[in-house]
Structure formats: structure tokens, C-alpha cells
Chain A
């Protein structure tokens, strides 16, 4: 069974940093693109970042460009999101999702999410 498990969320002060992780299992991780999508409390879904197979291509939403960095470790079947200079508007549940099909991909499945709270 395909499974994605995020971790690393928590409370951080504005301007602080946090590193999210996503552990993948049940599929050939290295052969899929991977993605981060976030959802602010009570709001809709916002695509954050995508990384292609072999880390060849990385894309970011304008709202996080220059502050967030996506990476992957295929040996550990893991996806990461390094978040720096965090702002109140970054507060959200962060989901990792496997990319499927074309590029950009659609997302299937999604992890259960990890909550990032930005507050002083």
C-alpha cells in the first residue's frame, strides 16, 4: 500500500525556520515526482513546490520562492521542505503528495499532513 507520512511541523516564531519531512513507502519512490501542498486553517488548497525525478527540476509558488527549498533523498525514500523566514501567512497544514502522470503532475495519494503554526 502506498503511504506518505509527514513530520516536522510545529510552532515557530515569525522569521524562524522549520524542516518538514515526508517518508514514503509502498512504491518506487525514485521514479515519481513529489510535491508539497498546503492548506491554511479553514481555507482552500495551495500548491507550494514540486520536485522531479532525479531532482532535475524544482518549482515553487511565488509566495514561497527564495524562502523554501524542496529536496529529496531517494536512498531514504524521503521528501523534504526547508522553510526559512517564516511568516504568519505560512501557517497551514502541509501535505506531501506523490506526482502522477504528466509534468506538472496530478497528486495521488496525499499524506495526512503536518501543521505549521507561525506565531510569536
Chain B
């Protein structure tokens, strides 16, 4: 199975700053990669699919890039509502797996 590794585990960022989150796959997943945001006590919400396509209603400050084994989620200017945990998810084959998550906290 393909192992997904996210880094860093925790990212401390000031509001208005840029946040860059990484996700690495143990083997190529092409662009079969999604990103989700999860706030405390809430279900995950889809942000990005196909590595770089924003889901409906997701603000333009969220962008995804990468292919193969290296992926990045960038939040261009952090807003207060963006402080949350972010998970990557490969759906290239079975079993689909999630990364361990990156917590974006207020610096």
C-alpha cells in the first residue's frame, strides 16, 4: 500500500502570512490526490481534488500543486477561519489512504 507522509506535523503561522503544507507519497499516485480541512468537532471538508482543482466554494487563497510523489497545499494569506488540521488523501488505487495531518495554528 502507498504510505502518505505529511509535514510538518504542526505549522505556526501569523494571520495574513502564507502557509505551505507538504504531502509525500511512498510511490507515484499521479494526480490522484485530495486535500481536506478539519476544524475541531467538525467533519472534514474537501478543499482540493486532482492535486490542484479547488472544490466548489473553496476560496482562491487555497491552491494545490504537485504530481507523482510530491504535493503541496498553499494558503496564500491565512485567515482566522483557516486555522485547522489539513489532511491529504490519495485515491490512486486500493486502499486509498490519508496522511497523518498538519495542524495549522496561530503563531
Chain A residues with CB under 8 Å of chain B are: 44-47, 50, 59, 61-62, 95, 100-102, 104-113
Contacts and interface: CB of A to CB of B under 8 A. Distances in A.
Q: Which of A100, A102, A104 is the most central at the interface, judged by chain B CB atoms within 10 Å of its CB?
A: A104
Given A45-B98, A47-B96, 7 more contacts: A45-B89, A101-B49, A102-B32, A104-B32, A106-B46, A106-B91, A110-B43
B64 interface: no
B94 A107 contact: no
Interface in B82-103: 87, 89, 91-101
A37 B42 CA distance: 14
A78 B42 CA distance: 22
B45 interface: yes
Q: Which of under 10, 10 to 19, 20 to 34, or 35 or more describes the interface residues of B?
A: 20 to 34
B44 interface: yes
23 contacts: A44-B99, A45-B44, A45-B98, A45-B101, A46-B98, A47-B95, A47-B98, A62-B95, A95-B43, A100-B49, A101-B49, A101-B50, A101-B91, A104-B32, A104-B92, A104-B96, A106-B34, A106-B49, A106-B91, A107-B36, A107-B46, A110-B44, A112-B43
B106 interface: no
A95 B98 CA distance: 14
B3 interface: no
B23 to A, nearest CB: 12
B87 A44 contact: yes
Given A44-B100, A45-B89, A100-B49, A107 B34 contact: yes
Contact of A110 (B45, B49, B92, B97): B45
A61 B92 CA distance: 15
B34 A44 contact: no
Contacts of B49: 100-101, 106, 108
